[in-house]
Amino acid sequence: MEAYGGAGAQKSEALKEAFPAVFRVARNQEVSIEDLMIISGDHVQWNVTFSRAAQDWEVDIFEAFFSLIYSVKPNRQQADSLWWNPTGKGIFSVRSFYKSLSHTTTIQFPWKRLWRNKVPPKAVFFTWTAAWGKILTIDNLRKRRLVILDWCCLCKRSGETVDHLLLHCETTRALWVEVFSRVELPFVMPETVVDLLASWALPRGVQQIKEVWKMIPICIIWCIWQECNDRTFENKERSPGELGALLFRTLMLWAIAIDFNGLNVHDFLASLSLT
Ligand SMILES: [Zn+2]
């Protein structure tokens, strides 16, 4: 079994996920548990080697890593083999994989509401991928071993995670605040994208307003991603005002798909005194 893949793992978490900083500098990342074990009498020593010494700020992490692996007593009666934790017998099955995926979130996510939307399918698909934390933000690229500086392309400060980029970054947050201030609603930003989508309550009343409101989180997420790509690949950067304009322009464009009983979206909003 791969040393960083399974055995010695904390519950279902692999060592490489529990200690990414240690894994990054491990000299041999594909080595098996058996290859690293040195057995002398009753004692087991771990022959883990690194490409460099730990930095001052990494000492605690390395200490925690070694404490963990020395707290585990490998079973020496049985040969090393692959073991799938979610099933009792350790054998992989698609059913158990599906179950383990669907149990990762405790909230009831309204997937149907996300997909039953009149926004372009590519934007829904992107938002759905973001909710699973799988879009290519810098932290996800680094997990794929791309050597890349971990900073947010918008604020150029914090590390770029999905939730930071799409919710908490100051540039993104300004868009969320703008939307909520226009409808005069107080709001508290949830921690994750999936929480935000799950808690996005629909207003009562006019169906067309509901449809527009359903588009808003997807539209913000889509525009932020567009801005990131423009900054990264086109070297173009919008000001906060220009980003706000992009959001409302995109929203108006998407709203064409909604039937406003013959009115255009501006006339419709005007008829409700919402502009
Ligand atoms: Zn940022």
In the reported structure, the alpha carbon of residue 257 is separated from the centroid of ligand 1 by a whole-number distance in angstroms of 32
Instruction: Tell me which residue range forms the domain holding 120.
Output: 111-271
Residue 266: predicted pLDDT: 72
Residues 95 and 205 in one domain: no
DSSP assignment of 209-236 equals HHHHHHHHHHHHHHHHHHHHHIIIII--
Centre of ligand 1 to C-alpha 196, Å, is 18
Q: Describe the crossing of helices 207-229 and 170-182 by its angle, rounded to 10 degrees.
A: 160
- Residue among 209, 196, 223 at smallest CA distance from 110: 196
Cα(19)–Cα(48) distance, integer angstroms: 14
Å from CA of 197 to ligand 1 middle:
20
Whether 6 contacts 83, CB under 8 Å: yes
Supply the pLDDT for residue 167: 93
* Tens digit of each residue's pLDDT, the chain (275 residues): 555 554 444 444 678 877 888 888 888 888 777 778 777 777 777 888 888 877 766 777 787 788 788 777 766 666 667 777 777 777 888 888 777 776 655 556 667 777 888 889 889 888 888 887 777 776 666 666 666 666 788 888 867 788 898 999 999 999 999 888 887 777 788 888 888 888 887 777 778 888 888 899 999 999 999 998 899 888 899 999 999 999 989 998 898 888 777 777 777 666 665 54
> Ligand 1 mean position to 13 CA, how many Å?
28
| Same domain (yes/no): 4, 73 | yes
Could you tell me the distance, in angstroms and rounded to a whole number, from the CA of residue 192 to the centre of ligand 1? 15
**Closest residue by Cα to residue 14 from 59, 65, 71:** 65
Q: How far is the CA of 73 from the centre of ligand 1 (A)?
A: 43
- How wide is the angle at C-alpha 23 spanned by C-alphas 160 and 68, nearest 5°? 115
Q: Are residues 52 and 186 in the same domain?
A: no
Do 96 and 174 lie in one domain? The reply is no
Instruction: Give yes or no: residues 120 and 246 share one domain.
Output: yes
With beta carbons less than 8 A apart as the criterion, state whether 187 and 180 touch. yes
- 190's CB contacts (< 8 A; 6+ apart) are 167, 196, 199
What is the whole-number distance in angstroms between the Cα of residue 180 and the centre of ligand 1? 20
Closest CA to 200 of 190, 191, 209: 190
For ligand 1, the distance from its centroid to the CA atom of residue 173, given in whole angstroms, is 9
CA of 166 to the centre of ligand 1 (A): 9
**How remote is the CA of residue 159 from the centroid of ligand 1, in Å?**
7
Distance CA(50)–CA(46), nearest Å, equals 12
pLDDT of residue 6: 47
In the prediction, which pLDDT does 138 show?
A: 66
Q: Does residue 237 share a domain with residue 118?
A: yes
Q: Are residues 138 and 236 in the same domain?
A: yes
Task: Tell whether 98 and 147 lie within a shared domain.
Answer: no
Given 71, 104, 137, the domain boundary residue is: 104
Measured in Å, residue 20 CA sits from the centre of ligand 1 at: 22
CA of 152 to the centre of ligand 1 (A): 4
In angstroms, what is the span from residue 41 Cα to ligand 1's centroid?
A: 53
The CA distance from 124 to 110, in Å, is 13
Distances (CA, A) of 63 to 12, 28, 49, 69, 72: 21, 19, 14, 10, 15
Q: Are residues 91 and 30 in the same domain?
A: yes
User: Measured in angstroms, how far is the CA atom of residue 25 from the centroid of ligand 1?
Assistant: 27
The total domain count for the chain is: 2
How far apart are the CA of 169 and the centre of ligand 1, in A? 4
Alpha helices (H) in 26-136, listed in sequence order: 33-36, 59-71, 94-102, 111-115, 121-131
CA of 160 to the centre of ligand 1 (A): 7
**Ligand 1 centroid – CA 137 distance (Å):** 11
Q: Which amino acid is residue 228, in one-letter code?
A: C
Question: Which of residues 104, 139, 172 is at a domain's end?
Answer: 104
Q: What is the pLDDT of residue 118?
A: 86
Residues 130 and 169 in one domain: yes
- Which burial class, exposed, middle or buried, applies to 12 when counting CB atoms under 10 A from its CB (0-12, 13-18, 19+)? exposed
> What distance in angstroms lies between residue 251's CA and the mean position of ligand 1's atoms?
23
- Give yes or no: residues 97 and 152 share one domain: no
Angle at 95 between CA 89 and CA 96, to 5 degrees: 45
**26 and 119: one domain?**
no
Boundary-marking domain end, from 85, 104, 123: 104
Token reading at 209: 């307003």
CA of 103 to the centre of ligand 1 (A): 30
